[in-house]
Chains A and B, each alone.
Chain A
Amino acid sequence: MLEIRNLHARVDERAVLKGIDLTIARGEIHAVMGPNGSGKSTLAYVLAGREGYEVTEGTVHYQGTDLLDLSVEERAREGIFLAFQYPVEIPGVAGTTFLRTAVNALRKHRGEKELDAMQFVKFVREKQAELNISDDMLRRPVNVGFSGGEKKRNEILQMALLEPKFAMLDETDSGLDIDALKTVADGINALRDPARSMLVITHYQRLLDYIVPDRVHVLAHGRIVKSGGKELALELEKEGYGALAGAEAA
Chain B
Amino acid sequence: MRVQDMSRRITAEFPFVERFDEVAAGLPGAGLHWLDALRRDSLDAFNRVALPSTRVEAWKYTNLKDFAKTPFDIAVSGEGDPSVDLDGAGAGGPDAEHRLVFLNGRFDAGRSRAGSVREGLTVLSLGEALRRQAQVVRPHIERLSPLEDEALLALNTAFMMDGCVVVVDDGATVDRPIELIFASDTRSPTSAHPRNLVVAGAGSRVALTETHVGIGPSEYWSNPVTEVVVAAGASVVHRKVQRESPRAYHLANTRVTLAERGTYRAFLMSVGAGLSRCEIEARLEGEGADCRLDGIYLARDRQHTDITTRIVHAEPGGSSRQLFKGVLDGRSHGVFQGQISVSPDAQRPDGHQLNKTLLLSNEAEIDTKPDLEIYADDVKSSHGAAAGQLDELESFYLRSRGLDAEEARQVLIRAFIAEVVEAVEDEPFRNHLNASIDGWLSHEAAARETGT
Could you list which residues of chain A lie within 8 angstroms of chain B, going by C-beta atoms?
A: 48-52, 71-73, 75-77, 81-82, 84, 87-88, 90-93, 98, 101-102, 105-106, 109, 141, 158, 162
Q: Are A72 and B400 in contact, with the CB atoms below 8 A?
A: yes
Q: B3 in the interface, Cβ–Cβ < 8 Å?
A: no
Q: Taking the nearest CB of chain A, how far is it from the CB of B414, in angstroms?
A: 7
Q: Are A76 and B397 in contact, with the CB atoms below 8 A?
A: no
Known interface pairs A51-B396, A88-B394; A109-B415 also in contact (CB < 8 Å): no
Q: Are B403 and A102 in contact, with the CB atoms below 8 A?
A: yes
User: 18 new A-B pairs (CB below 8 Å) besides A49-B400, A73-B405, A102-B398?
Assistant: A48-B396, A72-B396, A72-B405, A73-B408, A76-B401, A88-B393, A90-B398, A91-B415, A92-B414, A93-B414, A98-B401, A98-B411, A101-B403, A105-B401, A105-B403, A105-B404, A109-B402, A158-B401
Known interface pairs A51-B392, A72-B396; A105-B415 also in contact (CB < 8 Å): no
Known interface pairs A90-B397, A93-B411; A162-B402 also in contact (CB < 8 Å): yes
Number of interface residues of B (CB under 8 A): 23
Which of B392, B393, B399, B418 touches A73 (beta carbons < 8 Å)?
B399
Q: Are A76 and B411 in contact, with the CB atoms below 8 A?
A: no
Q: B407 in the interface, Cβ–Cβ < 8 Å?
A: yes
0 or 1 for each of B403-424: is its CB under 8 Å from A? (1 = yes): 1110110011011111100000
Residues of B near A84 (CB, < 8 A) are 397
Give A48 to B392 CA distance when docked, in angstroms: 14
Residues of A near B408 (CB, < 8 A) are 73
Q: Taking the nearest CB of chain B, how far is it from the CB of A6, in angstroms?
A: 25
Give A82 to B392 CA distance when docked, in angstroms: 16
Known interface pairs A92-B416, A93-B411; A76-B402 also in contact (CB < 8 Å): yes
Give A105 to B403 CA distance when docked, in angstroms: 6
Q: Are A106 and B402 in contact, with the CB atoms below 8 A?
A: yes
Q: Are A73 and B404 in contact, with the CB atoms below 8 A?
A: yes
Residues of B near A158 (CB, < 8 A) are 401
Name which of B401, B405, B408, B416 has the most chain A CB atoms within 10 A of its CB: B401
Residues of A near B393 (CB, < 8 A) are 88
Which of A75, A90, A106, A162 touches B394 (beta carbons < 8 Å)?
A90
Q: Taking the nearest CB of chain B, how far is it from the CB of A190, in angstroms?
A: 20
Known interface pairs A88-B397, A90-B412; A77-B392 also in contact (CB < 8 Å): no
Q: Are A92 and B419 in contact, with the CB atoms below 8 A?
A: yes
Residues of A near B398 (CB, < 8 A) are 90, 98, 102
Q: Taking the nearest CB of chain A, how far is it from the CB of B208, in angstroms?
A: 28
Q: Are A162 and B415 in contact, with the CB atoms below 8 A?
A: no
Which of B392, B401, B417, B419 touches A102 (beta carbons < 8 Å)?
B401
Q: Are B418 and A92 in contact, with the CB atoms below 8 A?
A: yes
Q: Taking the nearest CB of chain A, how far is it from the CB of B424, in angstroms?
A: 15
Give A148 to B309 CA distance when docked, in angstroms: 41
Q: Are A48 and B402 in contact, with the CB atoms below 8 A?
A: no
Instruction: Find residues 368-399 in chain B having any chain A CB closer than 8 Å to their own CB.
Output: 392-394, 396-399
Q: Taking the nearest CB of chain B, how far is it from the CB of A163, in angstroms?
A: 12
Give A152 to B411 CA distance when docked, in angstroms: 22
Give A71 to B398 CA distance when docked, in angstroms: 13
Q: Taking the nearest CB of chain A, how far is it from the CB of B415, in angstroms?
A: 3
Give A51 to B394 CA distance when docked, in angstroms: 12
CB<8 Å pairs between A and B, sample of 14: A71-B399, A73-B403, A76-B399, A76-B401, A88-B393, A90-B394, A90-B415, A91-B415, A92-B414, A93-B411, A98-B398, A105-B401, A141-B415, A162-B402
Q: Taking the nearest CB of chain A, how far is it from the CB of B267, in angstroms?
A: 18
Give A154 to B122 CA distance when docked, in angstroms: 55
Considering the complex, give the chain A residue whose CB is closest to the CB of B411.
A93
Q: Are A72 and B415 in contact, with the CB atoms below 8 A?
A: no
Q: Taking the nearest CB of chain B, how far is it from the CB of A101, in angstroms?
A: 6
Known interface pairs A51-B392, A51-B396, A88-B394; A102-B402 also in contact (CB < 8 Å): yes
Considering the complex, give the chain B residue whose CB is closest to the CB of A141.
B415
Q: Taking the nearest CB of chain A, how far is it from the CB of B232, in angstroms?
A: 38
Q: Taking the nearest CB of chain A, how far is it from the CB of B257, in angstroms?
A: 35
Give A71 to B405 CA distance when docked, in angstroms: 9
Give A48 to B393 CA distance when docked, in angstroms: 12
Known interface pairs A90-B412, A93-B411; A77-B394 also in contact (CB < 8 Å): no
Residues of B near A87 (CB, < 8 A) are 397
Give A130 to B415 CA distance when docked, in angstroms: 29
Residues of A near B396 (CB, < 8 A) are 48, 50-51, 72, 88
Residues of B near A90 (CB, < 8 A) are 394, 397-398, 412, 415
Q: Are B397 and A101 in contact, with the CB atoms below 8 A?
A: no
Give A73 to B278 CA distance when docked, in angstroms: 41
Residues of B near A109 (CB, < 8 A) are 402
Give A88 to B397 CA distance when docked, in angstroms: 7
Q: Taking the nearest CB of chain B, how far is it from the CB of A106, in angstroms?
A: 5
Residues of A near B412 (CB, < 8 A) are 90, 93
Q: Are A82 and B400 in contact, with the CB atoms below 8 A?
A: yes
Residues of B near A71 (CB, < 8 A) are 399, 404-405
Residues of A near B419 (CB, < 8 A) are 91-92
Residues of A near B392 (CB, < 8 A) are 51-52
Residues of A near B411 (CB, < 8 A) are 93, 98, 101
Q: Taking the nearest CB of chain A, how far is it from the CB of B59, in angstroms?
A: 33
Q: Taking the nearest CB of chain B, how far is it from the CB of A35, in angstroms?
A: 24
Q: Taking the nearest CB of chain A, how far is it from the CB of B284, in angstroms?
A: 31
Give A88 to B419 CA distance when docked, in angstroms: 19
Considering the complex, give the chain B residue whose CB is closest to the CB of A161.
B401
Considering the complex, give the chain A residue whose CB is closest to the CB of B419.
A92
Considering the complex, give the chain B residue whose CB is closest to the CB of A143.
B397
Residues of A near B416 (CB, < 8 A) are 92
Considering the complex, give the chain B residue whose CB is closest to the CB of A76.
B402
